[in-house]
Structures are given as C-alpha cells and as structure tokens.
Amino acid sequence: MNYIERQITQQRRKKLIKKGAFVLLLIVLLGFAILGIFSLFDPIAGADVSVIRIEGTIITGEAHSGGYIGSEYVGARIRKAADDPLTRAIVLRIDSGGGTPAAAQEIIRDILYAKMKKPVVVSMGDTATSGAYYVAAYADRIYSSYDTMTGGLGVIWIFYDTSDQLEKDGLAIDVVKSGEMKDMTYSYRGLTSEEEGMAQDLVDASFNRFYTDISTQRNVSRELIEDARLIRGEQALLIGLVDEIGNLQDAIDGAREMARLR
C-alpha cells in the first residue's frame, strides 16, 4: 500500500469513526427522549390522567406528612395538572376523615379552577367524611366502594376543661385579658352559658355554609345528613352523595371517558 492509499484509508477510517460516534450519540439522545416521555406517565393512570392524593387530616398550609395534608400542597398540584396540556382529566384520590372548613374551602377554589379546563373526578378510599366530603362534592363525578365510610357531614368544636385536675394539683392560674371571652378556648376553665351559646351559633353558621355549598353541587336532602352520621358507600349511592361504585381504576377510566366526550 503506497502513501496515497494509506492516506485515503485513514480518511475513510476517520469518517467511519465520526459516523459511528454520531450514531451512538443519536441512540443515547433517543434513549433519554424515551425515558423523558415515560417519565410523564403516572404508573397508575398514564400521561393523560393526573392522580392527586388527599390523605390525612385536611388543614391549611403545605403539610403533606405526619397524618396531615395541606390545602396549599393539594391546590398547587390541582392547578399544575389543570394547566398541563398533556393532562386531560384529574382524579382526586381521597382517604381522609376531614379537617378544617377553611382548608376544604381553599381546595374547592382550586377544583373550580381546574373544572373550567378539564374533568375532575373523585375516588374515595376507606374514608371520605366531613370536610373531605365537602371537597369531594365539587367533583364532576364521585366513585366509592360499597364500604367506604362517607357522610359525617357536620361541624364540631371541642372544649376541654381541666380545672378540676388543676385544683387537685394545687395549681392556680391568673389571667389578664381585654375581653371576657378572650380565653374561652383555654382548658383551665369551663365555658360560661353565654360562651356556650356563642360557640353553638358559630358552629351552626359554619354548618349552614357547609350544607349550602354542598347542596349547590349535590341534590341531597338536609334531613338525610344533618345528624352527621357516617354513611356506607352503598347507602351514599342511594341518597345521592356518590355517583358510582368503583375503585381508583374505575375512576380513572371514567375520567378518561369524560375527557373524551368533552
């Protein structure tokens, strides 16, 4: 092989190496692209349905551990899914005994925002009572199991009176306050009759708002739920608190179908 032939051969080798490197780079990039696409898919629902979990006591804030779930944490995920062009429907998986009315009301605002853009469906787990049902009522459709515990639709305010124990322990508490009722929630004394009446008025007003909001979404008689009893999913279906018996996958399939029809 003469000098010219060796040069040609070397050039060909360089071209082949460059082509091989280019092909390898394309393969690597394609792999990353495929991984990126699959990362968009929820392992349960897929890319087109976003499953957002509401598990634990509902409070305001960003909590999402220790048995609490924050309205800001949930709301941010609802709005993110609502704004995501790849998400066609949202499923809220609820397993909660309720929480504060204010926290439920904050989440409801985010649900209303999402519903303007795509279907929102609820799947109830073991429990979806009180404030958790308050949230669920605003979904386009509610699924529960036969023995899901729901209902419990009411407002409660608990006061503790440890004054007898403090007296036995020989402890005295001096209080300086600007108003007679400023310390009505403290446990070192019981409520006066006037405070009991005021507390009842506040609880009744909160329940009236609770029921009024729910009744705008669900056609359910106040007489059927105002005793705040727990209701099995099977009975809840009969009185209109839920729409269908089914599990999480049923809710996902239903949400997907609603999105297709919409």
Q: How far is CA 45 from the centre of its chain?
A: 16
Q: What is the DSSP letter of 120?
A: E
116 is written with which tokens? Answer: 């303007």
Residue type, 9: T
Catalytic sites, residue numbers: 130, 182
Report the alpha-carbon distance of residue 33 to residue 23 in Å, rounded.
Answer: 15
CB-hemisphere CA count at 13 Å for 87? 25
- Please give the angle made by the CA atoms of 218, 141 and 41, to the nearest 5 degrees: 155
Report the alpha-carbon distance of residue 172 to residue 107 in Å, rounded.
Answer: 43
244-245 and 49-55 strand pairing = unpaired
Whether residue 92 contacts residue 128, with contact meaning beta carbons closer than 8 Å, is answered with no
Whether residue 133 contacts residue 159, with contact meaning beta carbons closer than 8 Å, is answered with no
Whether residue 255 contacts residue 49, with contact meaning beta carbons closer than 8 Å, is answered with yes
Through-space distance between the first and last CA atoms of the chain, rounded to whole angstroms: 73
